[in-house]
Amino acid sequence: MALILTSQQVKALDQTLSEKGLLEVTVENAGRSVAEALHRHFPDSRVLVVAGKGFNGADAVVAARHLLALGHEITVLAHQEAHQDSLKKLQVFTKTFPLTVDQVRHHMAKNDVVLEGLLGTGFQPPLSAEYAALIEALNMSLKPVVSIDLPSGVRADVPERPELAVRATRTFALAGLKPCHLFEPASEWAGETELLSIGVPGQYTHQFTSTHTVEPSDVQQWLPRRNQNAHKGSAGEVWVLGGRSGMTGCVALSTLAALRTGSGLVRHSSVVPVEHAPAETISHALQDWSEVKDLPFKGAVAVGMGLGDQAEDIAAMVLEKHLPTVVDADALQTSLRGKGHERTIFTPHPGEAARMLETDVAEVLSDPLGAVRTLQKQYGGVVVLKGGPTTIATKQTTWVNTSGNPGMASAGMGDVLAGIIASLLGQGLSAKHAALSGVYLHGRAGDLCFERHHYGLQASDVAHAVGPAWHALLHGE
Ligand SMILES: NC(=O)C1=CN([C@@H]2O[C@H](COP(=O)(O)OP(=O)(O)OC[C@H]3O[C@@H](n4cnc5c(N)ncnc54)[C@H](O)[C@@H]3O)[C@@H](O)[C@H]2O)[C@@H](O)CC1
Ligand SMILES: Nc1ncnc2c1ncn2[C@@H]1O[C@H](COP(=O)(O)OP(=O)(O)O)[C@@H](O)[C@H]1O
Ligand SMILES: [K+]
């Protein structure tokens, strides 16, 4: 499992490691991990190593020593305030040069790859003129640039566009991913990100954060299993409430996704005829939405898709019944604050999240992890803040899901997600497991389709690919 750490959490971890006398060994481990990873990606390369004055620079200096041991030719440019102990150990084997723009330009041409450890999680804007000039020089490189921990100039916790930062080909994140590795636009500066160990057990680091990635191996265990004698009455039910005139496709898509996720019975209700609903579904037509209160619900309910003005009242009424419920789309309104219970899942996209938080979309996107936590606190239940990537929050924990792709930026994709999650709820998963497994499967199904359809991916393609994605997950493909 990849942990996600903020700069404050890294600071607290460093502080504790330092108190236990372990900081030096972790810097050594970090440097060695970086050298070994660079060696894997760029064997036999000549490496220009650029080291700043903080621990990020210390990692670079240690990495340089291990690169030498691995047989690389290296040139090291070190800041005059670079970590002295590490530097002395390196200077036993090779001389180093002062870190200046001229030296960077001069040595860049003679090397195959640049390893930069200028600034890490300790970076606070604004950039000094000295570092700005160095970063500009590095960005002129025609050679691949590898960043240690994060691209220098990017703020670890802030996914906003940096003023000026290293454009890395590859980034080796240390101990945990940082928000800047996961969320755009900042993540674009990192190139390919790989997480490396600093020799501290994950269990230990876990004390410092309750945020991590959704793991396929966990999802595999949570997904429902069927007995040989399963029948439609034992495979879970879903009831979709939504649609209005001209907006019934969303109900069709949610019900299709629920069937494709394995629900034994899928029903839907609306005040207008739902065109194109799969033939396998059962329709309970309503004259008026007030009739919802008398429906004989069983299994899970998904409410809100295309429902219009009355969605929040209908959702409030369903929530009072304490059924496993997915609250989506038009139902995601401020009047539902505090109404989520342990079997409720709210699934806003950033626009709906902004409405729920009474803020704007830019604010939500500037801190998706903070936004999903605030939503959970205000609304209760489990919150799925959709996006690329999606974040999920329970009362205790926050997750980031990394399956999915930009081909999924098309209409109806959220309706499919709501149907998948409702299906898993109806098959007996807890809200936490249904939300996490549903978000993961949705993204993985999208990834399966992307190869074939690219940006022409339709929401219904994803619904149809849930089974193959599930199968691939179970069989380790
Ligand atoms: N617990 C961990 O996760 C570990 C972290 N390590 C490394 O330590 C790094 C964090 O180390 P530090 O806290 O020393 O932070 P940094 O290495 O990011 O650097 C802080 C230094 O940069 C300077 N600086 C900050 N903002 C600046 C600006 N705007 N312009 C110019 N200079 C600026 C500071 O004055 C300070 O000297 C991580 O990114 C990682 O590379 C590793 O050494 C191993 C252990
Ligand atoms: N770039 C992307 N990367 C990963 N997932 C994406 C991306 N774009 C969209 N998605 C996923 O597609 C879904 C879109 O949902 P939503 O905006 O509610 O669509 P709609 O309202 O049209 O049904 C979400 O689950 C989102 O995470
Ligand atoms: K860096």
Best CA proximity match to 42, nearest among 72, 66, 63:
72
Ligand 2: residues with CB < 6 A are 349, 386-388, 390, 404-406, 408-409, 411-415, 417, 442-443
Residue range(s) defining the domain that contains residue 372:
216-474
Q: What is the mean pLDDT of residues 50-64?
A: 97
pLDDT recorded at residue 1: 82
Instruction: Identify whether 17 is part of a domain.
Output: yes
Instruction: Identify whether 230 is part of a domain.
Output: yes
Scan for tokens 């497991």, then name that residue: 433
Residue 45 has pLDDT above 90, yes or no: yes
Q: How confident is the model at residue 342 (pLDDT cuts 50, 70, 90)?
A: very high
Based on the fold, state whether residues 273 and 369 are members of the same structural domain. yes
In CATH, what number is assigned to the domain containing residue 226? 3.40.1190.20
Scan for tokens 């019975």, then name that residue: 265
Scan for tokens 């207008």, then name that residue: 272
pLDDT recorded at residue 197: 95
Share of the chain above pLDDT 90, in %: 97
Q: How confident is the model at residue 190 (pLDDT cuts 50, 70, 90)?
A: very high
Q: What is the mean pLDDT of residues 289-318?
A: 96
Q: Measured from the CA of 150, which atom of ligand 1 is nearest?
A: 39
Based on the fold, state whether residues 387 and 347 are members of the same structural domain. yes
Instruction: Identify whether 380 is part of a domain.
Output: yes
- Residue 313: C-alpha distances to residues 205, 219, 316 (Å): 44, 33, 5
Q: Measured from the CA of 118, which atom of ligand 1 is nearest?
A: 17
Q: How confident is the model at residue 372 (pLDDT cuts 50, 70, 90)?
A: very high
pLDDT recorded at residue 476: 85
Residue 88 Cα to ligand 1 midpoint, Å, equals 19
Scan for tokens 């903020």, then name that residue: 6
Q: Are 118 and 175 in contact (CB under 8 A)?
A: no
Share of the chain above pLDDT 70, in %: 100
Q: What is the mean pLDDT of residues 405-416?
A: 97
Nearest ligand to the CA atom of 165: 3
Q: What is the mean pLDDT of residues 17-46?
A: 97
Q: Within 10 A of 36 (CB to CB), how many other CB atoms are there? A: 15
Last residue of a domain, one of 181, 209, 237: 209
Based on the fold, state whether residues 286 and 418 are members of the same structural domain. yes
Q: How far, in Å, CA of 113 to CA of 50, rounded? A: 11
Q: How confident is the model at residue 286 (pLDDT cuts 50, 70, 90)?
A: very high
Q: How confident is the model at residue 192 (pLDDT cuts 50, 70, 90)?
A: very high
- Per-residue pLDDT tens for 247-261? 999 999 999 999 999
The residue whose CA has the least distance to atom 19 of ligand 2 is 414
This model of the complex carries an ipTM of: 0.90
Instruction: Identify whether 247 is part of a domain.
Output: yes
Q: What is the mean pLDDT of residues 139-149?
A: 95
Binding residues for (6S)-NADPHX: 55-59, 120-126, 131, 149, 306, 349, 415
Domain count, the chain: 2
Binding residues for AMP: 386-390, 414
Instruction: Identify whether 375 is part of a domain.
Output: yes
**Residue 43 one-letter amino acid:** P
Instruction: Identify whether 164 is part of a domain.
Output: yes
Based on the fold, state whether residues 424 and 442 are members of the same structural domain. yes
Q: Are 254 and 422 in contact (CB under 8 A)?
A: yes
Residue 431 Cα to ligand 1 midpoint, Å, equals 39
Q: Return the best residue to mutate from 214, 327, 349, 416 for the ligand 2 pocket (most ligand atoms within 8 A of CB).
A: 349
The residue whose CA has the least distance to atom 9 of ligand 2 is 409
pLDDT recorded at residue 220: 97
Instruction: Identify whether 1 is part of a domain.
Output: no
In sequence order, what are the beta bridge partners of 265?
237
Q: What is the mean pLDDT of residues 177-196?
A: 97
Based on the fold, state whether residues 292 and 307 are members of the same structural domain. yes
Based on the fold, state whether residues 228 and 116 are members of the same structural domain. no
Based on the fold, state whether residues 177 and 239 are members of the same structural domain. no
Q: What is the mean pLDDT of residues 393-404?
A: 97
Based on the fold, state whether residues 285 and 313 are members of the same structural domain. yes
Q: How far, in Å, CA of 311 to CA of 301, rounded? A: 13
Q: How confident is the model at residue 141 (pLDDT cuts 50, 70, 90)?
A: confident
Based on the fold, state whether residues 122 and 147 are members of the same structural domain. yes
Residue 53 Cα to ligand 3 midpoint, Å, equals 11
Binding residues: 55-59, 120-126, 131, 149, 152, 306, 349, 386-390, 414-415
- Return the exposure string of 346-375: e unless at least 16 CB atoms fall within 10 Å of the residue's CB, then b: bbbbbebbbbbbeeeeeebbebbbebbbbb
Last residue of a domain, one of 174, 209, 244: 209
Q: Measured from the CA of 23, which atom of ligand 1 is nearest?
A: 45
pLDDT recorded at residue 145: 98
Length of the chain: 477
pLDDT recorded at residue 465: 98
Q: Are 65 and 91 in contact (CB under 8 A)?
A: no
The residue whose CA has the least distance to atom 16 of ligand 2 is 414
Q: Measured from the CA of 348, which atom of ligand 2 is nearest?
A: 18
- Per-residue pLDDT tens for 454-469? 999 999 999 999 999 9
In CATH, what number is assigned to the domain containing residue 192? 3.40.50.10260
- Per-residue pLDDT tens for 20-29? 999 999 999 9
Based on the fold, state whether residues 246 and 198 are members of the same structural domain. no
Residue 55 Cα to ligand 1 midpoint, Å, equals 5
Scan for tokens 């009424």, then name that residue: 317
**Residue 105 one-letter amino acid:** R
Q: Are 194 and 171 in contact (CB under 8 A)?
A: yes
Mention every residue, 6+ apart, whose C-beta is less than 8 A from residue 188.
Answer: none
Last residue of a domain, one of 209, 242, 263: 209
Based on the fold, state whether residues 102 and 201 are members of the same structural domain. yes
Q: How confident is the model at residue 410 (pLDDT cuts 50, 70, 90)?
A: very high
Q: How confident is the model at residue 230 (pLDDT cuts 50, 70, 90)?
A: very high
Ligand 1: residues with CB < 6 A are 10, 13-14, 26-27, 30, 53-59, 119-128, 131, 148-149, 174-175, 198
Instruction: Identify whether 2 is part of a domain.
Output: no
Nearest ligand to the CA atom of 440: 2
Q: What is the DSSP string of 113-158?
A: EEEEES--TT--SSPPHHHHHHHHHHHT-SS-EEEESS-TTS-TT-
Q: How far, in Å, CA of 317 to CA of 106, rounded? A: 70
Residue 101 has pLDDT above 90, yes or no: yes
Residue 477 has pLDDT above 90, yes or no: no
Based on the fold, state whether residues 123 and 234 are members of the same structural domain. no
